Structure 1
Amino acid sequence: MPLFDLPLAQLRQYTPAVAEPADFDTFWQSTLDAATQSPVLLDLRPEPTDLRLVDSWDVTFAGFGGDPVRAWYNRPAGVDEALPVIVEYVGYGRGRGLPHERLTWPVAGYAHLLMDARGQSGQYGAGDTPDPHGAAPGGPSPVTRGIMTPEGYYYRRLITDAVRAVQAARALPGVDPRRVVAAGNSQGGGLSLAVAGLVSDLAAVLTTAPFLCHPQRALEITEVGVYGEIVNYLAVNRDAEPAVRRTLSYVDGVSFARRANAPVHFGIGLRDMVCPPSTGFAAYNHYGATVGGPPPERTMHVYPFNGHEHGDATQVRRQLRWLADVLGEETTDRSDGPKLSRALISPA
């Protein structure tokens, strides 16, 4: 698909005024305060797998309203030390899947908690967490569920789950609670930004092609993917636009990004019509704006010829190297290591 958004030079300077509710902070503080009334870690049990190098546990923690939320906890087998933990959030329509599906982080030497997305499994991957709060006015899909009010909106629940996942990760055995990283792509990238704005002591944030950033603009320039579900809802519910826009202002990733203080690593494809690049750049350029003192470290990788897939494996490699540097982890340079002899690699 062709370039459709602002030129890159303008994107790098794009800091739009974003409508932010006056009670944004009190809304989220009261929401999270209510969630903390329940003990966070509900169940932890070893998960048998055929993996020799990774140990897995099935985790259940209390999310929004005390609802049980499922997650996989993986870590390198045979490692007893307390490790940094990557709390990862999945993309739209995905669930946590099976414990062996996402192994990059534990193979790289990190603990890894992969949160299920309540009520979303079946489109791209399986999940095990229902969403029992479906009565608020809105549409049938997760992104429109309860969208007529901030209090009943689906993403109020999912963002609360995401914050509680960080709290659950800190309670897990073998985790260094001072080194928690929020990570995700697309919907997961939006959740990692929300967590960055609501949790003040993260070690780092990894976000690519983040969803729910500057949604007011996204609705004007794209109807692809998840934003298309909101467009379709408004095409039928023609008088709902003011209420929908008000609700979206409470979950805007730009507002969360303004409150974040952890080092952050972004990745954006300039041909992304699912999460338009200007919406992600808005979050990047506003990141840490309300934080006193020196601004947090920000890194952006741009992929001019990619869409919603952004940098894919190249981006993950960049994340690994950046995160090792930020956390002060040792990395191994294998360029001078032992080489296979030609006898071993020559054809028979």
Structure 2
Amino acid sequence: MRTSKRFTTGQRVTDRHLLRSVEVDDVRFPGWNGEPVAAWLLRPRGAEGPLPVVVTYIGYTGGRGLPTDHLLWSAAGYAHLVVDSRGQGHDTPDTTEGNGTQWAEGFMTRGVDSPEHYYYRRLITDCVRAVDAVADLPGLGHRRVVVTGGSQGGGLALAVAGPASDDVAAVMPDVPFLCHYRRAAEISGEGPYEELAKYLRWHSRRHVERTFTTLSYFDGVHFAQRATTPALFSVGLMDPICPPSTVYAAFNHYAGEDRTMTVWPFADHGGGYGSNPVEQLAWLRERGLGVPA
């Protein structure tokens, strides 16, 4: 087992999953309150030199899954850190989950009575510290870190790109969740924003305003205003879960001059599906973040 200030790399699990071209490590790093957060670190087998690193955050109610779920980026020559979501995955518990209000199933109202208690304060802290921790592993290009994810993962990538702009070379939020909470709760026809709508349906107007005050601290629109790193967004124009207007709200407030939106006109919440990584790989290469052939 290798240890460093911010990373513990445990058993190499490549052989367990019968992978021959990829090396996989089961890692832990300290997240919120120093609590260990699980992640997979995948690298092309035998790769030398500092590799550009893609840090991926996961969609709502998902965890890091298995290494075999995440082979694209290592196949393209990148190091790939796949970060578990506390309380949502099986390997990173949310030990403070009972602190604060939770009215409905899910995570959207967990601790929503105050910014100090809100669930996403802890999860976003984990995600920022994942970028911090990359610098402690040898062979990784810690100045060439790309943060990305779809849906919740896209919202988390935006949340990291703001406060960690100096350490992030690019951000790629796909159909991002956690943007413009109020509008999303008002118009979304499916998915997690309905948890907020159901919660607010039974509370007074005063309670509604307090709830959205809490949520404003964790809104991707506000994080976008602090982010200057190059950004590649994507949006599905028929997305019922993360309505396009909420994605465009974050995109239009993004502070960086180098911002691009990939538009999928007839797409639902899956966005571009398998076509989107092709766009991402080309976009990264254009910005000097590709892997040499």
The TM-score normalised by the length of structure 1 is 0.78
**Aligned position for 2:215:** 248
Contact kept in structure 2, 1:87 and 1:169, CA below 8 Å? no
Deviation at 1:58, TM superposition (A): 0.3
Are 2:234 and 1:267 equivalent residues in the alignment?
Answer: yes
How many correspondences in the alignment?
Answer: 284
Distance 1:44 1:172, change over 3 A: farther
User: Which consecutive aligned stretches of 4+ in structure 1 deviate over 4 angstroms post-superposition?
Assistant: none
Cα distance, 1:242 vs structure 2: 1.8
Over the aligned positions, Cα root-mean-square deviation in angstroms equals: 1.6
Q: Which protein has the larger Cα radius of gyration, Structure 1 or Structure 2? A: 1
CA distance in 1, matches of 2:40, 2:265: 34
SS in structure 1 of the partner of residue 40 of structure 2 = strand
* Residue in 2 that maps onto 1:336: none
Contact 2:186 2:197 in 1 (8 A): no
Q: 1:320 aligns with which of 276, 281, 293?
A: 281
Please list the CA deviations of residues 5-48 of structure 1 after superposition, one character each: whole Å capped at 9, or x if unmatched: xxxxxxxxxxxxxxxxxxxxxxxxxxxxxxxxx95224443124
Q: What are the ranges of 5 or more consecutive residues in structure 2 without an aligned counterpart?
A: none
Q: Deviations over 1:188-235 (max 9, x none)?
A: 000000000010221101111101111111112124101011111222
C-alpha separation in 2, matches of 1:91 and 1:114: 12
> Hey, what does 1:78 align to over in structure 2?
46
Give CA-to-partner distance per residue, 1:126-177, whole Å, 9 cap, x none.
x311001122123342121101110000000010000001111221221011
- Tell me whether 1:41 sits opposite 2:4 in the alignment: no
Which AA in structure 2 matches 1:173? P
Moved more, 321-330 or 73-82: 321-330
Residue 187, structure 1, aligned to residue 152, structure 2: yes
Seen in structure 2, the aligned counterparts of structure 1 residues 158 and 328 have a Cα distance that, compared at 3 Å, is closer
Cross-structure match for 2:67 = 99
- Is 1:310 paired with 2:271? yes
What is the alpha-carbon distance in structure 1 between the residues aligned to residue 288 and residue 27 of structure 2? 25
Matches within 5 A, 1:161-310: 161-201=126-166, 202-238=168-204, 240-288=207-255, 295-310=256-271
Give unmatched runs, 5+ long, in structure 1. 1-37, 122-126, 289-294, 333-348
**Closer/same/farther in 2, CA of residues 281 and 236 from structure 1, 3 Å limit:** same
- On the 8 A contact 1:197/1:259 being kept in 2, the answer is yes
Q: Distance in 1 between matches of 2:27 and 2:203?
A: 39
TM-score by length of 2: 0.93
Question: Do 2:32 and 2:122's aligned partners in 1 also have CA atoms closer than 8 Å?
Answer: yes
Deviation at 1:313, TM superposition (A): 1.0
Distance change in 2, residues 1:39/1:142 (3 Å)? farther
**CA displacement at 1:60 relative to structure 2:** 0.5
Task: Give the partner amino acid of 1:300.
Answer: M
Counterpart code for 1:247: T
Deviation at 1:328, TM superposition (A): 4.7
Q: Does 1:137 align with 2:105?
A: no
